[in-house]
Structure 1
Amino acid sequence: MADAATTTVPGAGDSTARKHHPALTLVGMTCGLGVILVLMLVVFIMPSLKSGPHDLQVGVVGTSSAADQFETSLAAAAPDAYTSQRFSSEQELRDAIRDRDVIGGFVVDESGVRTLVAGAGSTAISGSLAGTAQAVGGALGVEVTVEDVVPLPDSDPTGVGIGGLAFPLVFGGIVPVVAFRKILPHSVGWYLTGLLVFAAAGGIVVSSVLTFAFGSIESAFWPVVGSMALGIAALALPLAGLQKAFGAKGFTLGAMAMMFLGNPLAGISTTSAWLPSGLGTFGQILPPGAAGTLVRSAAYFDGAGGFVAFWTLVAWIVVGLLLYAVGTRGAAGEEMPERPSG
């Protein structure tokens, strides 16, 4: 009986005995991390390699024959780069540029071609438009002049200040979610209030640096404050909601999406129009891209072109609050003691 009691069943304990050899683990981890590295290179570098003018809306002013000739030369000089729209007057074209309905335009007459650009919209796009105009002018044998209708400030002529906002936006959305969860009292009110207060403070800090240190903004301090605050909140609240509803895994996946998709596809330095069309559109759905568009619109265009971006950020904030409410309700249900039977 004693022997029977101590007899071991074949296969028992195999789960603990069958361990992968360290070499296999090393190979597997190396391959997995290599794939992740390749994906990161594709996400961060491919948008830049494939970026450029494609179907950008431009305006053309001139007589029918002159405009027809110019548009033919424009299509030959830059195939598929621009889509032209006729305007009846130069003032109408200038207004369309300031309203961000078009990225620039051309006034064609007997004296030559006057090119109107908006450097504040994107120095990459305005530079490309000016270069294309010179090529068209050379083909037509006419003089070409360039005028910046919405220029960047003299202290930041290349737009570096606005262009560098992608990482601060993502950082400002991720870090307070983790920090405030650890240091604030375990109260929904205090936690969410902390995130909103940080968003407002972050907007003030960023706008102050852009205005007083970099000179990137001249007369839109408070609109930029509001735009940045909205962008930070649209990042932080959904991440907090994912954390509350799905735990650490939810937060990690959300943070990775914002860092490795939202950041490189935001197009803040060049605007989304410069990115490949599908990637640029996708980037504008995520908070970093929408926030970058709204900040640029607020800083240089009196809010023009920021309508969709504004409501995109509002939608993310609402989604974040709903996720947090669902997570809170689920946690309360789990903690509720069971009623005694009978």
Structure 2
Amino acid sequence: MTAQAPASGSHRKHAAIWAGLTVGLSVILLALLMLFISPSLLSGPRDLGLGVVGTQEKAESVSETLESQSPGAFVVEAYESADDLEQGIRDRDIVGGFDFSDPEDMQVYGASAGSTAVSGTVSNVGATMAGSMGQTAEIVDVVPLPAGDPTGVGIGGLAFPLVFGGIVPAVAFRSMLSGKRWWIFAGLTGFSVAGGFVVAVVLRYLFGSIEGPLVPVAASVALGIAALALPLAGLYECFGTKGFTIAAMSMMFVGNPFAGISTSAQWLPGGIAMIGQLLPPGAAGTLVRAVAYFDGAGGGAAALTLGAWVLAGIVLWFSGPRIAAAKARKEAALPMA
């Protein structure tokens, strides 16, 4: 009888561990499903700026029509001419627009380079509106995607490579150059530059995703990698493995799905879009798209965000030894048990 008691207690312990792991891992799986799938399921047009060539009264009429069909999806403003409307699209003040000047053909303007999801929606809405008025819709792509990548897969798939390019070097250089702080820092900054050029070269010459100048795209990707790698390395310096792990997991499981690179942030729910654009993956995607297709228009906030992350990483990196020394002094001052 006494020999069975320990065995019975062991079984209860193992059962409790089994139940705890099963429930805990199920909760983690649910959280991952919500993080990676919910943004796509909840995505759609939200406060998309549209221009209408004509009077303010015409713009208000179009706005009322669109609001009745898709509440909250569009914000409409008037433009004096089609040229002004096109310039507004290039400046990224609006995502598209309509010109009703021709009584037979309605011109529907968009920019597939900004987002195929957004431009497709604008085209569909314009075609529907033209049909209701007995007109045909002529689609004008003001800023088209390159012929080599007509669906925008190249830049749309940057989220994971950016996260990978930020996390893995922070681990690799620390492992291979343990204790060599200046070499680690030089390695991270050097890899950011090299990685930026590698990605830009692949996008241009292998995928055909970009056609313009190579250096601005390379610099944007490099800034995105540095905005991940340097803060992660700095957090390790200041708080050790725990600080690094929490930050890396946050970037992987929040920054990645919330980035909205393939569709643009405007396609995501408001709160998710805001969080995504404050994190390096989302900001880097926005900046790369801006410099690749729009001569930098619409990328200013993203560049400032990435610059702030880089600066924070540098501050953390150089604060690390002081924090470690202060922690060591505090531990040395504690009375011996």
**Amino acid corresponding to residue 184 of structure 1 in structure 2:** L
Q: Do residues 88 (structure 1) and 80 (structure 2) align?
A: yes
1:32 to 10, 24, 40: 24
- Residues 66-96 of structure 1 show CA distances to partners (whole Å, capped at 9, x for unaligned) of 4444333333333321110111221111111
After superposition, the CA RMSD in angstroms is: 1.9
Equivalent residues of 1:74, 1:136 under 8 A apart: no
Find the residue that maps to 1:116 and give its secondary structure. Answer: strand
Distance 1:211 1:110 in 2: 39
- Counterpart in 2 of 1:242? 235
Q: Which moved more, 1:137-146 or 1:163-172?
A: 137-146
Q: Secondary structure at the match of 2:314?
A: helix
Q: Which residue of 1 aligns with 2:151?
A: 158
Range 170-179 or range 315-324, more displaced: 315-324
The range that moved more, 107-116 or 277-286, is 107-116
Match of 1:231 among 220, 224, 227: 224
How many angstroms apart in 2 are the aligned matches of 1:314 and 1:156?
29
Partner of 1:3: none
2:33 to 27, 41, 45: 41
Judging changes above 3 Å, is the alpha-carbon distance between structure 1 residues 19 and 285 closer, same or farther for their aligned structure 2 residues? farther
SS in 2 for 1:109: coil
After superposition, residues 203-222 of structure 1 pair within 5 angstroms as 203-222=196-215
Q: Per-residue deviation at 1:303?
A: 0.6
Which runs of no fewer than 5 residues in structure 1 stay unpaired? 1-16
| Conserved? CA contact 2:55–2:80, under 8 Å | no
Q: Is 1:191–2:184 an aligned residue pair?
A: yes
Instruction: Give 1 or 2 for the bigger CA radius of gyration.
Output: 1
In structure 2, what is the Cα distance between the partners aligned to 1:278 and 1:335?
Answer: 41
**Using the alignment, how far apart are the partners of 2:282 and 2:199 within structure 1?**
17
Worse-matched range after superposition: 299-308 or 141-150: 141-150
How far did 1:185 drift?
5.2
Task: Give the structure 1 partner of residue 71 of structure 2.
Answer: 79
Instruction: For 1:108 and 1:180, locate their aligned partners in 2 and report how far apart those are by CA, in whole Å.
Output: 59
**2 CA distance for matches of 1:121 and 1:79?**
22
Q: CA deviation at 1:187?
A: 2.5
Q: Any gaps of 5 or more consecutive residues in structure 2?
A: 1-8
Aligned residue type for 1:129: V
Is the 2:286–2:299 contact (alpha carbons within 8 Å) kept by the matching residues of 1? yes
CA deviation after TM superposition for structure 1 residue 308, in Å: 0.3
Secondary structure at the counterpart of residue 155 of structure 1: coil
Please tell me whether the aligned partners of residues 238 and 316 of structure 2 are also in contact (alpha carbons under 8 angstroms).
yes
What is aligned with 1:202?
Answer: 195
In structure 2, the CA distance between the partners of 1:193 and 1:82, relative to structure 1 (3 Å rule), is: same
Instruction: Give the distance between the partners of 1:34 and 1:286, measured in 2 at CA.
Output: 27
- The share of aligned pairs that are identical, in percent, is 52
Of the structure 1 ranges 110-119 and 217-226, higher mean CA displacement relative to structure 2 is found in 110-119
Which residue identity lines up with residue 163 of structure 1 in the other structure?
G
Whether contact under 8 Å (2:63, 2:75) holds in the other structure is no
1:247-289 deviation per Cα after TM superposition (whole angstroms, max 9, x unaligned): 1010110000000000000000001000011111110000000
> Could you tell me how far apart the structure 1 residues matched to 2:227 and 2:56 are?
47
Alignment partner for residue 43 of structure 2, among 51, 60, 63? 51
Q: Could you give the per-residue CA deviations for residues 300-326 of structure 1, whole angstroms, max 9, x where no partner exists?
A: 001110000001000001111112222
Corresponding residue SS for 1:144? strand
Asked if the contact 1:66/1:108 (under 8 Å) is kept, the reply is: no
> Partner of 2:46: helix, strand, or coil?
coil
SS in 1 for 2:192: helix
Structure 2 SS opposite 1:193: helix
Judge which range, 79-88 or 287-296, deviates more.
79-88
**Contact 2:59-2:76 at 8 Å conserved across structures:** no
Q: In the alignment, does 2:245 pair up with 1:263?
A: no
**1:7 match:** none
Q: Kindly indicate whether the alpha-carbon contact (under 8 Å) linking 1:78 and 1:132 is maintained by their aligned counterparts in 2.
A: no
Distance, in Å, in 1 between the alignment partners of 2:12 and 2:189 is 48
- Aligned twin of 1:295: 288
C-alpha separation between the residues in 1 aligned to 2:161 and 2:93? 29
**Secondary structure in structure 2 of the residue aligned to 1:248:** helix
Aligned position for 2:95: 103
Shift in Å, 1:18: 9.6
Cα deviation digits, residues 108-145 of structure 1 (max 9, x gap)? 22424211100000000000110011111122222211
- Give aligned pairs, total: 323
CA distance in 2, matches of 1:116, 1:236: 39
Task: Provide Cα deviations, 1:185-219, integer angstroms capped at 9, x if missing partner.
Answer: 52321111110000001001100100010000111
**Amino acid aligned to 1:276:** P
Asked if the contact 2:50/2:94 (under 8 Å) is kept, the reply is: yes
TM-score by length of 1: 0.90
Deviation larger for 322-331 or 212-221: 322-331
